[in-house]
A = this chain, B = another copy of it.
């Protein structure tokens, strides 16, 4: 027989009840769903954030894109390289300030981001699946408040 060293069934209750722990579980869940969703559309989170921003804000320099999307300057470079290779964006140097690359979304890029929009919308639904409509509203309100959008 084995004292099989399975002393408790769960991790410490004080951790299980922690806001930070619950947040990390919730994020892990949402992140996994998003990652799989993007992968199934041959894409990534950075791609979606960049394309969606270009679509909504219009052509922008890479520095501005980094600020808008909260993606680091050097990660913006890498992600835009991918997107350019696949024909979803184009770079051209800004004639008014030749340090800058003006990044423009292509028609193929628009198609791509529309598809990703659908994927992402489906995932929002899944993430909140267990909550009623009223609870969802409340949950989003509390999240925003917690982040200071009070």
- A residues sitting closer than 8 Å to B (CB atoms) are 1-8, 10-15, 17-20, 22-27, 29-31, 33-34, 49, 52-53, 55-61, 64, 68-70, 94, 96-97, 100, 102, 117, 120, 123-124, 127-128, 130-131, 135-136, 138-140, 142-148, 150
Compute how far the CA of A94 lies from the CA of B70 in the bound complex, rounded to whole angstroms. Answer: 49
- With a cutoff of 8 Å between Cβ atoms, the chain B residues found around residue A147 in the complex are 22, 25-26, 29, 130
- Min Cβ gap A124→B in Å is 5
Partner of A143, one of B22, B59, B100: B22
Main secondary structure of the interface of A (DSSP, over half): helix
Q: How many copies does the complex hold?
A: 2
Compute how far the CA of A138 lies from the CA of B11 in the bound complex, rounded to whole angstroms. Answer: 23
Closest residue to A45 on the B side, CB-wise? B24
Compute how far the CA of A148 lies from the CA of B13 in the bound complex, rounded to whole angstroms. Answer: 17
* A143 adjacent to B23 (CB under 8 Å): yes
5 shortest A-B CB distances, which residue pairs?
A: A27-B27, A7-B57, A8-B57, A12-B56, A22-B143
